[in-house]
Amino acid sequence: MSKSQIELKEWFILLFLSLVWGSSFILIKKSLVGFNFFEMGLMRTVIAFLTFLPFVFYFAKKINWSRWKEYTLIGATGSAMPAFLYAIAQTEISSIASGLLNSLTPMFTVIFGLLFFNIKSNWYQLLGVSVGLIGAIIIILYGSEFDIGSNPNYAIFVVLGTMCYAMNANFIKHLFQKEDPMVLGAVSFLFIGVPFFFIAIYVGIPAKVISEPAARWSLLYVSVLAVMSTVVSLILYYQLIQRTTPLFASSVTYLIPVVVLFWGVLDGESLVVFHFVGLLLIIGGVYLVRRGSQ
């Protein structure tokens, strides 16, 4: 495969991920109609685990089981923790605000690379971080003013979620550079999926789905979220990180806001000028951070 073909494939994956992940915020919102945030986070992880499970058996001989702690770390930072954090956030903030704040991921990817992976910093990166954080603050404080009943304090959970994704990208690049993405995705869910499966049964989610129509609809939405936004997208994302860099892969968040805005407006959410101002500052900050990394 030629270099140009590889580059074309990488950009195609980036576009696909932006469409799928950009739609995940409205799916989270719909999933929270019949589930609370804890149930939704559990089911998103459990469904992804069950989807991946056949591949665990198929690739069993290729798996280095002695690295179970590292696999668990990948699963926790890349999927389990963000599933709960974004769900908590969207009990109080709009899918638009959540999706726009998700654009902080590339910035934190670089920050954690500087702090923990021996990447040197420069003034471009420091300026970019400052600009991006100002943009996030504008979205949190002013973009939420027009959402009745919203609590901007809950935006901190989205920020924590982006930090998890950023650490995950760096972990994959430095710990699993040569790992088969399918194997990595499947095994990373195994060690978190098994306990979550039994917790979901213990708290009565199956009975709730059987007895409540709203829960059945939420199960449908969270199933689409788990399969497309978690299973399929994670495999492609891990592949993208391995073929390029964590920064290039995490720059999918440049495109996600367009999809987020489309679904949010279509669903009747408030869209104000502060959303655009904050987003432009975040993207500008990410650009400066990326320039400083070249």
The larger pLDDT score, comparing residue 75 to residue 144, is at 75
Least confident of 69-73, 263-267, 282-286: 282-286
**How far are the Cα atoms of 77, 93, 214 from residue 81, in angstroms, in the given order?**
6, 18, 25
pLDDT at 214 (0 to 100): 95
Q: Which of 95-104, 151-160, 215-224, 285-294 has the highest mean pLDDT?
A: 215-224
Structure confidence at residue 292 (pLDDT): 62
Q: What is the pTM of this model?
A: 0.82
The pLDDT of residue 143 is 61
Residue 194 has pLDDT above 70, yes or no: yes
270 close to 146: Cβ distance less than 8 angstroms:
yes
| Residue ranges per structural domain of the chain | 3-293
Please tell me the predicted confidence (pLDDT) of residue 13: 86
- Residue 149 scores a pLDDT above 70: no
For residues 109-147, one letter each, b for 16 or more C-beta atoms within 10 angstroms of the residue's C-beta and e for the rest, the string is: bbbbbbeeeeeebeebbebbbebbbebbebbbebbbeeb
Q: What is the DSSP string of 133-188?
A: HHHHHHHHHTTTTTSTT--GGGHHHHHHHHHHHHHHHHHHHHH-TTS-HHHHHHHH
Q: What is the pLDDT of residue 250?
A: 67
pLDDT in tens, 220-260: 999 999 999 888 888 888 788 777 776 677 667 677 888 88
Quick one: the chain helix, strand, coil %, rounded to 5?
85, 0, 15
- As a whole number of angstroms, the distance between CA 38 and CA 41 comes to 5
Give the whole-angstrom CA distance, residue 285 versus residue 283: 5
Q: Please list, residue by residue across 203-237, b when 16 or more beta carbons sit within 10 angstroms of its beta carbon and e when fewer do.
A: eebeebbeeeeebebbbebbbbbbbbbbbbbbbbb
Ranges 99-103, 196-200, 215-219, 227-231: which has the least confidence: 99-103
Question: Region 105-118: what's the mean pLDDT?
Answer: 78
- Paired tokens of 81: 């923790």
Q: Which DSSP symbol is given to 285?
A: H
Q: What is the pLDDT of residues 46-80, one digit of tens each?
A: 999 999 999 999 988 888 899 999 999 999 998 89
Q: Is the pLDDT of residue 6 over 60?
A: no
